[in-house]
Amino acid sequence: MLLWRDDFSTSTLEEVLRYQIENRAWSKELRFRSSTLVNKRLANEISQDDYLVNRKLTREEAEECQRRAAILDTQIARATVRPLLHAS
């Protein structure tokens, strides 16, 4: 994952899109980890306590990933919206 920052006002659209690609890859990884965690618990490979701890961490990371996605979507929308032309 690229070094994260909340302010993309000085970034180019290409840079923001690169962050979006990285964030989507992270999201995919988090979904895989969550699925693996559930499967391990169902197979009794990990204890309930271990499951709960890891699930909480995964949920927190997923929330951060979603927060970042929202910031990136907003920035992309700002960069791609054309200003309205005013009639004279």
Q: What is the pLDDT along the chain (88 residues), one digit of tens a residue?
A: 557 888 888 899 999 999 999 999 999 999 999 999 999 999 999 999 999 999 999 999 999 999 999 999 999 998 887 666 665 5
Question: Residue 88 is inside which H or E element, if any?
Answer: none
Record the pTM: 0.82
Give the SS3 label for residue 45: coil
* CA-CA-CA-CA torsion sign (14, 17, 67, 84): positive
Cβ-contact 16, 76 below 8 angstroms: yes
pLDDT of residue 1: 54
Residues near 40 by beta carbon (within 8 Å), at least 6 away in sequence: 46, 51
